[in-house]
Structure 1
Amino acid sequence: MNPYLLPGKYIDFEDPGIAALARQLSHDAASEHALVDRCFRFVRDEIRHSADFKLNPVTCRASEVLRHRTGYCYAKSHLLAALLRANGIPTGLCYQRLSVNDDGVPYCLHGLNAVFLKAHGWYRVDARGNKPGVAAEFCPPTEKLAFPLRDPNERDLPEIWAEPLPIVVEVLERFSTYDQVLANLPDIALIS
């Protein structure tokens, strides 16, 4: 579990702002469930999704996401991992491969988290941000993610990563505006 508890370049929970927020969210949390739910709801509801709200700058590090209060799904997952790891809860990064327009090509990765809950084991949670047609919740043991798989080439990628995928970081660091990222969303080829 150690890799899922450590800070990193993008999950930088040693940042003073993240450390303070992590303490604030854990204050009086009666259980692990309550703490994870508080952190999840904060990221889902208080951090605006860059494309939904047409917001710049493009963020990648958890501390940037918190400072600017915006991020793509990937960046929001970095912040949720940072808040949970700061509170000693093992948290990883997960990805889905989804159709961008729900009708085949093009495809892109979607970022979310896996949290290790003592009562349930690894549990995926998606703090992307709700909107009409998207209603992600924290309700273990049932997963309620933002996007169901609908297309034969969509996938839930099974890996749980301790650090973000390089292709995701490359896109978030290369482009400076939300619309540039939207036009260049990261994707990976599926192995047959």
Structure 2
Amino acid sequence: MELIQQNPDIAAYLAVGEAVDHDHPRVRETAADLAREADDAYTYARTAFEYVRDTIPHSADSGDPRVTWRASDVLATRNGICYAKSIALTALLRAHGVPAGLCYQRLTDDAGADPVLHGLVAVRLPGHDRWSRVDPRGNKPGIDAQFSTEKERLAWVVREEFDEIDYPVVYAAPPEVILRALKGARDRSELWRNLPAGL
């Protein structure tokens, strides 16, 4: 799938924002720690991906009721749903000078009902002329998302027969519908009742 930049200026995918707050000391410190294990941008990106995927539990898996939406808060609480984890990975990538943005899928339950948005990250590594999507949601039985710039290894593949959608846009900042849901929820149960169904 060809991804489309929301903003034609690549600098937008390195910028600091309200949610992607990679100027925050916690984000910068985490990025510096991860960079010690990496000798190039690809290795850093993979290391950051695995850090968010594996050490920050998805709150639906852990049962954590807290809702996070800023990258620095995700890293501080070590908690978040897919939107928040994607924001955290985007911030860690940008903190190391790797252009990154946010992507989304519309997914449904097993019966093809109750659509919700699922958050992903798009990364553009030096020497690559295209964006690559990765999914830091967190693995569990039945989900095996991996870092790959050649072939996507996401948590879910959309099922067109259920009107699921891979949105092609790479957002420089979280869409308002995502931020509104995250900021407006008192806890994860309330967030779950108000997850956006589409963009």
TM-score range, shorter chain: over 0.9
Identical pairs, percent: 43
- RMSD, matched Cα: 1.1
Q: For the residues of structure 2 that align with 1:118 and 1:22, how far apart are their CA atoms?
A: 18
Matched to 1:157, the amino acid is Y
Matched to 2:91, the amino acid is A
Q: Gapped runs of 5+ residues in structure 1?
A: none
Residue in structure 1 matched with residue 102 of structure 2 by the alignment: 93
1:171–1:186 Cα contact (<8 Å) kept: yes
Residue in structure 2 matched with residue 177 of structure 1 by the alignment: 187
1:4-48 per-position Cα deviation (integer Å, ceiling 9, x unaligned)? 001100000111111001011112412211100100000000111
SS at match of 1:97: strand
Matched to 1:96, the amino acid is Q
Residue in structure 2 matched with residue 34 of structure 1 by the alignment: 43
Aligned pairs, how many? 188
| Cα offset, 1:113, TM superposition | 0.4
| Cα offset, 1:151, TM superposition | 4.3
Whichever structure has more strand as a proportion of its residues is 1
Q: For the residues of structure 2 that align with 1:108 and 1:14, how far apart are their CA atoms?
A: 31
Q: For the residues of structure 2 that align with 1:78 and 1:67, how far apart are their CA atoms?
A: 13
Matched to 2:191, the amino acid is V
Residue in structure 1 matched with residue 135 of structure 2 by the alignment: 126
SS at match of 1:70: coil
Residue in structure 2 matched with residue 78 of structure 1 by the alignment: 87
Q: For the residues of structure 2 that align with 1:19 and 1:10, how far apart are their CA atoms?
A: 14
1:149 lines up with 2:150 in the alignment = no
Matched to 2:178, the amino acid is V
Q: For the residues of structure 2 that align with 1:91 and 1:184, how far apart are their CA atoms?
A: 27
Q: For the residues of structure 2 that align with 1:102 and 1:33, how far apart are their CA atoms?
A: 35
Q: Gapped runs of 5+ residues in structure 2?
A: 1-9
Matched to 1:92, the amino acid is G
Q: For the residues of structure 2 that align with 1:181 and 1:147, how far apart are their CA atoms?
A: 21
Residue in structure 1 matched with residue 115 of structure 2 by the alignment: 107
The structure 2 residue matched to 1:158, chosen from 155, 168, 178, is 168
> Which ranges of 4 or more aligned residues in structure 1 deviate by more than 4 Å?
none
The structure 1 residue matched to 2:73, chosen from 54, 64, 88, is 64
- TM-score, normalization by structure 2: 0.91
Q: For the residues of structure 1 that align with 2:64 and 2:28, how far apart are their CA atoms?
A: 25
SS at match of 1:142: coil
